[in-house]
A = this chain, B = another copy of it.
């Protein structure tokens, strides 16, 4: 658990209320966050003001804008607390330096990135190959907890459809 130690030593503990942002789309943010408690969501805001939810982030999860932290560009998404949350933030630069110096940390970061990559692959698969209805069934079967934590509105935006659309799907399945 060298990585956790490193974050404990070098990270800043941040306490946020529901509705508070850690960063917003378009801003630069060089931190990687580890969630200690609470619930967050990462979302895109499209040109016409529509919200699309990238992911929900739960205690134990890591999150940060790779594009911003690594490539130094503006973040493509926003990160906001859905519930009061405590996270620890560590500058990506420090993490990167540490990984170059300490093989143990490098290994864990590697594992983390591989897990991250696999998760993204899964999401890509779902968005590319499955219908909205199939994505809904999958979410219901694999992450039922999420339905008790967020509104249906947000589930819909995560599935890539509107709340109205989701309501219809549920109705259709109830027959």
> What is A's interface to B at a CB cutoff of 8 Å?
44, 46, 50, 52, 54, 66-67, 70-71, 76-77, 96, 99-101, 103, 106-107, 109-110, 113-114, 116-118, 120-125, 127-129, 160
Contact = CB atoms under 8 A, between A and B. Distances in A.
Nearest to A157: B128
Contact of A71 (B54, B116, B118): B118
Given A99-B106, A101-B103, A110-B106, A46 B117 contact: no
Q: Which 4 A-B pairs have the closest CB atoms?
A: A120-B120, A127-B127, A113-B113, A106-B106
Contacts of A50: 129
User: Interface of chain A, helix or strand or loop or mixed?
Assistant: helix
Nearest to A99: B110
A125 B53 CA distance: 10
Nearest to A123: B124
